[in-house]
Amino acid sequence: MDSAVPGAAFVAQTGGTEVAAVAVTTLGALARHLESQGLTSETAGSEHTPICGVNTLEDAAEGEISFLSNPRYRQLALESKASALIVGTDVDLSFRIPTLRCKDPYAALTMAAIHIHGYRRHPQWGISERATVAPSASIGDGASIAGGATIEEHVVIGRNAVVYPGTYVGRNVTIGDDVVLYPNVTIYEQCVLGHRVTVHAGSIIGEDGLGYAPLEGKWLKIPQVGHVVIGDDVEIGANCAIDRATMGTTRIGTGTKFSNLIAIGHGAKVGEDCMLVALVGIAGSTVVGRHVTIAGQAGVIGHIRVGDDVQIGAQSGVTDSLEAGSKVLGSPAVPIGDAKRQFLLVKRLPQMKERIRVLEGEVRELRRTLEEHTERTGSASGE
């Protein structure tokens, strides 16, 4: 890291737990770092401004840098106590504090956070005497297995893996290098995790799916003899559940990221580099393409296909296959333009109801007038 200030690098200690190292840098040094990462930027104000952290506009304090990409938050930026701001090139604003201007301020802030804070540093336990590790398990060099973790027979764990307390790894599981399993993760037997996979606390991989056959008014359990395969660089949030396949494989593609409380049904296939937000559910045997984004509380029924680069809006209910590049919203999910028009009509229903009531009254009056006119005309003709 670029430590332009004396005594720059240090490691914070909180309650005995080691957290990420922090590097104190300067605005100019940070701009040069971004340049080295392919992000061109321009600075305004003192390049020697010390920067020791990143934070939101509301919470930033002296020594921290924040970002502004939307002019709507101009007032927050003006009131912020940050020592510097990262702003977009299309933000035409002047500030009393130094700024770093670039095309993608969000990416710049991410790189700044990595540069200054780094990622979480995991404890190095080695293999704790309080861990339960089967004799036939193979543990790679540099791995850390915490006390209270259980590693069953014939498990293979790669180099530099970290297994936190309370985690259970079942028989014949294979785990790659640099994997992190946070507390109370459960990996059922025969599942496979690739390299650099992170599974957050409370998640379960490989539990039985909802597999039952109806028989004489009862449900007969189908043996779930498949497994789960998770690709490299996947991150699974807290309290997620990924069912093992009834037969074959439930698969999560390389680079895919899950938020919390995600449920994946048995035999589903999720492609590479997908993003699933909290409370998403994908039913069994559905195939999801690559780089698909599914927003919070959306549900996808089973046995359909979702094409590449599809975007599914929050709380959508997908009931049919979607072509590549589709953007859908609503329940049942429809093209996003149609959904917005439907929502607008729903918002107008009270006014439309009142207008219909008025029109019905006018029609009744017209009918009454017409009937009276007809009666008068008929009477005049009969005279």
Cα dist from 123 to 29, 65, 147, 163, 169, whole Å: 30, 28, 12, 10, 19
Distance CA(94)–CA(108), nearest Å, equals: 19
Q: How many CB atoms lie within 10 A of CB 105?
A: 25
Angle, to 10 degrees, between the axis of helix 27-36 and the axis of helix 105-117? 110
The residue count for the chain: 383
Is beta strand 144-145 parallel, antiparallel or unpaired with respect to 162-163? parallel
Cβ count within 10 A of residue 30: 26
Radius of gyration of the chain (CA): 30
Amino acid letter, 30: L
Alpha-carbon gap, residue 222 to 237, rounded angstroms? 29
Q: Which residues contact 67 (CB under 8 A, 6 or more apart)?
A: 57, 85, 86, 87, 105, 106, 108, 109
Beta bridge pairs of residue 174: 156, 192
> Phi and psi dihedrals of 175, rounded to 5?
-125, 130
CA distance to 54, 65, 261, 338, per residue, from 239 (Å)? 28, 33, 5, 34
CB distance 210 to 222 below 8 Å: no
Q: Can 303 be counted among the known catalytic residues?
A: no
Which one of the listed residues 227, 266, 303, 373 is annotated catalytic?
A: 266
Positions annotated as catalytic residues are: 266
